[in-house]
Amino acid sequence: MRVQFWGARGSIAKPGPSTARYGGNTSCIEARSARGTLVVVDCGTGGHSLGQNLVSAGAEGVRGHILISHTHWDHIQGIPFFAPLFVPGNEWDIYGPKGLGQSLREALAGQMQYTYFPVPLDQCGAKIRYHDLVEGTFDIDDIKVSTRYLNHPALTLGYRLEADGVAVVYACDHEPHSRMLATCHADITGQDLRHAEFVNRADLLIHDAQYTAEEYPAKVGWGHSTVEYVVNLGQFAQVKKVALTHHDPLRDDDAIDRLVANIRAKLRENASSLDVFAAVEGQIVEIAPSPAKDTARRAGEFQAEMPIEPALAEWSVLLGIADTKMAAALSNTIRAEGIRAKFFANMDEARTLIAKGRPSLAILEHDPPRVDGMEMCRAIREQENDREHQLPVIMVAAQENQAAGAAAGVTDWLIKPFTDACARTKIRAWALRAACQWMRAVIPEDEEWRLARPPVHVRRAPMAQKGIENRRFPENVISTDKSALLWMYCREIAPFETPAFSKNVGDLIARATKRPSEMRNRSAAN
C-alpha cells in the first residue's frame, strides 16, 4: 500500500515560515492499494492539493472513496475545494460516522450552505454516494475497512485499512479513555485495550499526537492524544511504524524535530524496534505487500454500512445519578439526542426498568460515601444472564479506578468535570453500539455471510412478526434479499403506499420469507 500525507496539522491550518517543513494544511491522507484502489482519509485543507494533483494527472472518470473520521472543520474543510468532486463523469463514495439525527450528507452540506459557500453540495458535478457508518467492517474493492469509535468530543471513527497483506490504521482525533494513560501513568486496559486491539500489529499507525504529556493537564477532555501515549501504544500493540500527526498549530518545525529526536533516543535506550516519525505534508510511505497476514473476514464481524434505523423514541438511557444538577444536565443532553432518560432511585426500580424497557445504556454516579455507583453496577451485572449482550454502563466519577471498575463490570468512564460535547458523544457511541448489538441479535446465524455484502435499503417495510426486535425497530429493514425483492416488486405493481397497504405487504413478505424453524416455533406457540 502507498500512503501520502497531504495535511498533517491539527485544529486549524497554520501556514507560515515556522511550519513550512512539516506543513500547515489540516488532515488529509491518500492511500492506494497495489491494485490502484484510491481511498482518501479525511479531507481537511490538505485535500485541495490532493484534488489538484488528481485532476492534473488528467485521468478521466476518476473513481475514489473518501473516509471522513468526523465532521470537525479541520477534517472536512477541503471538501468544497476538492476539484475531482466537481468533474462530471467522476464517481466518489463518501463515508463517515452515522449520527443519531443528522446524516453525513446533511452535515457536509451544512458547510456548503449559501451563507458559507457559493456552490451547494448537490451541485458538485461528480456522482457522489454517501455512506453512514457504524462500528464494523466493509469492503472498498480490494481494501477491507474496519471502523471503531474513537474518544473525542464529536462522534469519530478510526479506520483500519487492510490490503496487499498489510494494515494501515488512521486514528484522528482520539484521547485515551484513561486520563492517567495519557501521561503514561496507567496500564492499557478497558476501552483503551479495545483501541490497542484495533491498531494491533499495524504496519503503519497514523495517530493523533497533538500534545505532549507535559501539556496534557491543561488539555484534558479536548479529545487528543499525547506523543508519549502514542509511542507507548505503538510498542504495546506491536505496530511497525508510527506516524505522529495532527500537529498542534502552536508547535513549530523545530519543536517537532526536538520531540521526534527525544522519542527516538528513548526507543534506542530501550532497544525498541518501533519506527516513529512525525508526518510531513507531501511525504510518501510505501508499505511493501506481505503474503503473511490474513485479512479475511471473520465470523461475527458487523457490516459497518448496516442501516441502523433507530426508533429513537423507543430508546432510553437509565440514569442512576444522585447529584440533581448533574442529573438535570445529563437528562437534557440525552433528550437533545432524541433519547428518553429514565431515572431510578434504587436497584428494584433499576431492575424493573431494565427488564421492561431494554435500555441502550446506563449512566451511574460513583461518589462515595454519598452514592456507591460500583455497587449499583455489580447489582446490574448480577441480574444479567446474557454475558454476550451486557448493558453498557458508563460510570461518572471524579477519578477513574480501572481495576475496581473492571471488577464491578463498568464499561466506560465519564470523568468529572466533563463537557456537554463529551457526554453527548459517549452517549451517541454507546447507543449506536447497543443498536448494532440488537441488530446482530435480530440477524439469524445462518445469514452471517450476508454481513460481507452491501446492505439492502428498504424504506418503511413493516414486518408481521411480533417480538422485541420489532418493538425496537418498527420501521425495520428486511435483511434478506428475497424480502427486499418482494417489497420492490409490490411497490412496482401498486405504486401507492397507505398504512393498510404497507401492513398487508409486510404480512405477505414475512410469510413468504419465514424459515421452516420459525414456522415450527410459531405453530408450537399457537
Cβ proximity to Zn ion: between 26 and 146 the closer is 26
Residue type, position 247, single letter: H
Q: Which residue is nearest to Zn ion (CB)?
A: 72
Sign of CA dihedral 339, 344, 349, 350: positive
* Listed residue (241, 236, 253) closest to 207, CA to CA: 241
Long-range Cβ pairs for the range 411-417 (8 Å, 24+): 411/191, 411/361, 412/177, 412/190, 412/191, 413/177, 413/178, 413/190, 414/363, 415/179, 415/221, 416/326, 417/221
Sign of CA dihedral 295, 297, 301, 304: positive
Minimum CB distance to Zn ion, residue 74 (Å): 4
Cβ proximity to Zn ion: between 72 and 342 the closer is 72
Cβ proximity to Zn ion: between 74 and 412 the closer is 74
Minimum CB distance to Zn ion, residue 16 (Å): 19
Sheet holding 275-278, edge to edge: 136-140, 143-149, 157-163, 166-171, 204-208, 241-245, 275-278
Cβ proximity to Zn ion: between 74 and 164 the closer is 74
The residue range among 28-36, 168-176, 277-285, 454-462 that interacts with Zn ion, by the rule CB under 5 A, is 168-176
Minimum CB distance to Zn ion, residue 70 (Å): 6
Query: Within 389-428, which residues bind Zn ion (CB under 5 A)?
Result: none
Minimum CB distance to Zn ion, residue 78 (Å): 13
Cβ proximity to Zn ion: between 172 and 364 the closer is 172
Query: Within 480-519, which residues bind Zn ion (CB under 5 A)?
Result: none
Number of neighbouring beta carbons within 10 Å of residue 54: 20
Minimum CB distance to Zn ion, residue 13 (Å): 11
Binding mask 295-334 for Zn ion (x = CB under 5 A): ----------------------------------------
Interface with Zn ion (CB under 5 A), residue total: 3
In whole angstroms, what is the distance from residue 221 CA to residue 115 CA? 31
Q: Does the protein bind Zn ion through residue 173 (CB under 5 A)?
A: yes
Cβ proximity to Zn ion: between 420 and 497 the closer is 420
Q: Which residue has the cell 524535530?
A: 257
Cβ proximity to Zn ion: between 77 and 137 the closer is 77
Under 8 Å between Cβ of 61 and 90: yes
Minimum CB distance to Zn ion, residue 441 (Å): 32
Number of neighbouring beta carbons within 10 Å of residue 470: 17
Sign of CA dihedral 65, 69, 71, 75: negative
Give the bridge partners for 208, in sequence order.
Answer: 245
Cβ proximity to Zn ion: between 48 and 72 the closer is 72
Q: Does the protein bind Zn ion through residue 132 (CB under 5 A)?
A: no
Minimum CB distance to Zn ion, residue 212 (Å): 17
Q: Does the protein bind Zn ion through residue 248 (CB under 5 A)?
A: no
Minimum CB distance to Zn ion, residue 42 (Å): 8
CB-side exposure of 525: number of CA atoms within 13 Å?
Answer: 8
Query: Within 51-80, which residues bind Zn ion (CB under 5 A)?
Result: 72, 74
Give the bridge partners for 499, in sequence order.
Answer: none
User: For binding to Zn ion (CB under 5 A), which residues are involved?
Assistant: 72, 74, 173
